[in-house]
Amino acid sequence: MLGLFLFACVPGWAQRNGNQAKKILDQTAETFRLSGGVSAAFMLNHYLNNVIDGKSAGSIQLQGDKFVLTAGGITTWFDGRTQWSYVVENEEVNVTTPTSQELQQLNPYAFLQLYRQGYDFHLGTISSFAGKQVWDILLVANVQKQEFSRIRLYIAKEGYRPLFIRLERKDEPAGSWAEIVITDYRVHQHYEDAFFIFDSKRYPDAEIIDLR
């Protein structure tokens, strides 16, 4: 009888768990929206066969759906429609019009706009990270088109800001993932629209390759 009772309770518990996770994500997205311009610094760790295979530091500035991302020797500007990716090593700029799936690969905060479609939500068991109280939220893709099959987030209970993001691609083998640890986070920054557009005058020797 106890087993039957527990089995009957599981669907209701899972629904409440998912609803609570979604409420936290909704509040996180709303807090981000009200933050105006955001600047963040982060460490990016790549794992292969369950061990770190590489790491690098990066930074991102965001305002709405626009961003400038600097990481791994590449600076990427996105003005909400057009993307410019400047490779420092060979001084090339690739100009594209990215899809939402392509933006997921670049912008670690894309989940704040895309999570409402194509993912189920669950609350995890981790309660603290880097000395802060957090919500542990797991997003599991429920449609094939999502670039990431699983996303794990630690969101600070104070301020509703992401502290940690783990990304697992659908086409990568088991034991492979990327982790983003936010090391600095500033809100209410002001950026002009031109900040999110590649300025060719600052890179006079760059070769521009238009792939649109």
- Quick one: pLDDT at residue 101? 77
Query: Residue 199 maps to which CATH number?
Result: 2.50.20.10
**What residue numbers bound the domain in which 194 lies?**
2-210
User: What would the pLDDT profile of 80-113 be if each residue is shown by its tens digit?
Assistant: 999 999 999 999 999 999 988 788 777 877 777 7
Would strands 83-87 and 74-78 be described as parallel, antiparallel, or unpaired?
A: antiparallel
Closest to 117 (Cα-Cα) out of 137, 143, 154, 94: 143
Confidence of residue 157 (pLDDT cuts 50, 70, 90): very high
Spatial separation of the C-alpha atoms in residues 82 and 78, rounded to whole Å: 6
Spatial separation of the C-alpha atoms in residues 12 and 141, rounded to whole Å: 21
For 188: left if phi > 0, alpha if psi spans -120 to 50, otherwise beta; the answer is left
Confidence of residue 146 (pLDDT cuts 50, 70, 90): confident
User: What would the pLDDT profile of 57-69 be if each residue is shown by its tens digit?
Assistant: 999 999 988 999 9
Number of domains into which the chain is organized: 1
Q: Which of 66-70, 171-175, 182-186 has the lowest mean pLDDT?
A: 171-175
Residue 152 corresponds to which tokens in the numbers above?
């794990």
Confidence of residue 10 (pLDDT cuts 50, 70, 90): very low
- Quick one: pLDDT at residue 117? 79
Torsion of Cα atoms, 143 then 145 then 149 then 150, to 10°: -80
Residue 176 corresponds to which tokens in the numbers above?
């492979």
Following DSSP, what letter does each residue of 63-120 receive, concatenated? ETTEEEEEETTEEEEE-SS-EEEEETTTTEEEEE---HHHHHHH-TTTHHHHTTSSEE
CA 160 to chain CA centroid, Å, is 15
- Asked if 25 contacts 91 with a C-beta cutoff of 8 angstroms, the reply is no
Q: Report the pLDDT averaged over residues 203-209.
A: 93
Amino acid at 11: P
- Quick one: pLDDT at residue 143? 83
Q: Report the pLDDT averaged over residues 142-150.
A: 83
- Asked if 163 contacts 137 with a C-beta cutoff of 8 angstroms, the reply is no
pTM equals 0.83
Residue 185 corresponds to which tokens in the numbers above?
């986070």
User: What would the pLDDT profile of 26-55 be if each residue is shown by its tens digit?
Assistant: 999 899 889 999 999 999 999 999 999 999
Amino acid at 43: M
Q: Report the pLDDT averaged over residues 122-129.
A: 92
Judge whether residue 3 has pLDDT over 80: no
Confidence of residue 16 (pLDDT cuts 50, 70, 90): low
196 CB-near residues (< 8 Å, 6+ apart): 63, 66, 67, 68, 77, 78, 79, 80
Q: Please, what is the average pLDDT of the chain?
A: 87
- Asked if 148 contacts 133 with a C-beta cutoff of 8 angstroms, the reply is no
